[in-house]
């Protein structure tokens, strides 16, 4: 009923994770992409709120931040999702648990 004890958690830290090199590289890249995605989101909000008076090409800078920022945010989110499917999909495969002789008819 209770979780792992403190000593069990410390001993689990000594065990190496079973991730290969490509998974570890993807985790680093995914972390960087996630940070950039958050920065894009925050910058969209800041630019939209603070720079409404500046106009470029008959559109305010707030509108330009939305025109550029939203597709960038969607692009980074798509790259993260596709990368997870490509590099981390091996761990999520279910184990084969088929019964060797299934019951076909109840007696």
Decide if 56 contacts 64 (C-beta within 8 A).
Answer: yes
Q: Count CB-CB contacts under 10 A for residue 84.
A: 14
pLDDT tens per residue across span 64-84: 999 999 999 999 999 999 999
CA atoms within 13 A on the CB side of 89: 8
Q: What is the pLDDT of residues 35-60, one digit of tens each?
A: 999 999 999 999 988 888 888 888 88
What percent of the chain has pLDDT above 90? 37
pTM of the model: 0.65
Please state the domain extents for the chain.
43-89
């Amino acid at each position: 009923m209770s979780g792992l004890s403190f000593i069990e958690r410390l001993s689990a830290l000594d065990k190496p994770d079973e991730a290969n090199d490509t998974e570890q590289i993807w985790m680093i890249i995914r972390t960087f992409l996630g940070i950039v995605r958050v920065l894009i989101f925050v910058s969209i909000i800041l630019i939209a709120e603070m720079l409404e008076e500046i106009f470029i090409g008959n559109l305010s800078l707030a509108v330009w931040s939305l025109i550029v920022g939203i597709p960038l945010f969607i692009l980074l989110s798509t790259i993260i999702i596709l990368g997870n499917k490509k590099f981390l999909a091996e761990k999520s495969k279910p184990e084969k648990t088929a019964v060797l002789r299934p019951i076909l008819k109840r007696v």
